[in-house]
Amino acid sequence: MARISDPAILIPKARDGDRRSLARLITLIEEGGEAGTAILAGVFGSSGEAWTTGLTGAPGAGKSTLTDRLIGNMRETGSEVAVVAVDPSSPFSGGAILGDRVRMQDHIDDSGVYVRSMASRGHLGGISVATPRVVALLDGIGFPEVVIETVGVGQAEVEIAGNADTTLVVVNPGWGDSVQAAKAGLLEIGDIFVVNKADRAGVNETVRDLTQMLDLGGERSWKPPILPTVAATGDGIPELWAAINEHRHHLVASGKLAGMRSKRLVAEMEASLLGGLRRQVRASIPEAEWADVTDRVVGREVDPWTAAARLLRSLGVASE
Ligand SMILES: Nc1nc2c(ncn2[C@@H]2O[C@H](COP(=O)(O)OP(=O)(O)OP(=O)(O)O)[C@@H](O)[C@H]2O)c(=O)[nH]1
Ligand SMILES: [Mg+2]
């Protein structure tokens, strides 16, 4: 049987809770192209309602365990939850560790929880391109809560997490972890800092270090709380859930949410436009010409800037 790719069939089925149709829609979006765009157009009208919570932090910091706990809070009101786990797949890991990253133990049999893992380097070529689209789909399909788990190792992963409405930065006790978080650019994007594995030594020091580093960032209208948790036992989770809701109310009441979401829509349009142009430009240079030009650049016969300017001129595009 041929696989169905018609959004007009798949979208209503996915809305009715058919997870196979939803999985197919996500795959089509990951593959890009017209089918993906048609799907996004089909659900856009009913999107903009989901709350997205991003969790990022070093490998093994406890993001999945925390997510598992938070799903419990989200499910209390009956909200369906979708979890997107973004794997910073490298040629070395090959995404083989995906399975372990996303197992949501406590909710494995709950049909109201949908978990999907995806590679941050997908078919669309660029990094992290598909994630905001998949989140838009889950939103448009009707999930009121969407959780994005990313390993905060690279800029792309940090960007993905920073695209959430509420971003949790997860660190562990110990000096090294908060310094690593700072180096990875996580201090800027955190709305809430979680010091998980607070059953270990060094919690107070880590809270103090984070407080100091965040103070260096200057005054902000939202002062990110720093909360110790033990995800393994549930300690500190009620406080974390309260902080997430507080942040949500802050964004709504201050009017910042509307501004943030407007910016995100424009950024998505721009990213999509530039992605298309990049592919088109590259595709319109014949392979032989590309090989010839790169050979001459590598041979230092021509500098890379002049070579690019000539190529652009030959395509009728003004150079810089
Ligand atoms: N001692 C202790 N262990 C914890 C705590 N929370 C999680 N763990 C353990 O830490 C390990 C990693 O937890 P995960 O939730 O898989 O961490 P993660 O950040 O999702 O890991 P990756 O997705 O691989 O980056 C597991 O063995 C957990 O049981 C905690 O609060 N205390
Ligand atoms: Mg994980």
Could you report the per-residue pLDDT of 113-172, keeping only the tens digit for each? 999 988 776 555 555 788 999 999 999 999 999 999 988 777 777 787 778 999 999 999
Does the beta carbon of 117 lie inside 6 Å of ligand 1? no
What residue owns the CA closest to ligand 1's atom 29? 232
Q: What is the pTM of this model?
A: 0.90
Determine the distance separating the centroid of ligand 2 and the alpha carbon of 220, expressed in angstroms: 30
Which atom of ligand 1 sits closest to the CA of residue 231?
31
- How do residues 196-218 score in pLDDT, each as one tens digit? 999 999 999 999 999 998 888 77
Sheet bearing 51-57, strands edge to edge: 113-119, 81-87, 145-151, 51-57, 166-171, 192-196, 226-229
Question: What is the atom index within ligand 1 of the atom nearest the CA of 196?
Answer: 31
Question: What is the reported pLDDT for 124?
Answer: 54
CA–chain centroid gap for 89, Å, is: 14
Q: How far is CA 39 from CA 19, 21, 29, 122, 304, in A?
A: 16, 12, 7, 18, 40
* Ligand 1 pocket residue status of 312, Cβ below 6 Å: no
Structure tokens, 255: 């009017």
| CA distance from start to end of the chain | 51
Hey, what are 294's tokens?
A: 């790169």
Cα separation, 129 vs 275, in Å, equals 9
Interatomic CA distance for residues 320 and 73, integer angstroms:
52
Is residue 206 lining ligand 1, measured as CB closer than 6 Å?
no
Q: 60 CB under 6 A from ligand 1?
A: yes
Q: Which ligand is nearest to the CA of 236?
A: 1
Which residues have CB under 8 Å from 181's CB, separation 6+?
Answer: 57, 58, 152, 169, 171, 187
**Token pair for residue 120?**
């941050």
Model pLDDT, residue 50: 97
197 lines ligand 1 (CB under 6 A): yes
Who surrounds ion ligand 2 at CB < 5 A?
63-64, 101
Report CA(62)–ligand 1 centroid distance (Å).
3
Average pLDDT of the chain is 88
Give the distance (Å) from ligand 2 centre to CA of residue 297: 43
C-beta 231 within 6 A of ligand 1 = yes
82-120 pLDDT, tens digit per residue, is 999 987 765 555 444 444 555 666 787 888 999 998 877
Name the residue of 56, 63, 65 to mutate for ligand 1: max ligand atoms within 8 A of Cβ. Answer: 65
230 lines ligand 1 (CB under 6 A): yes
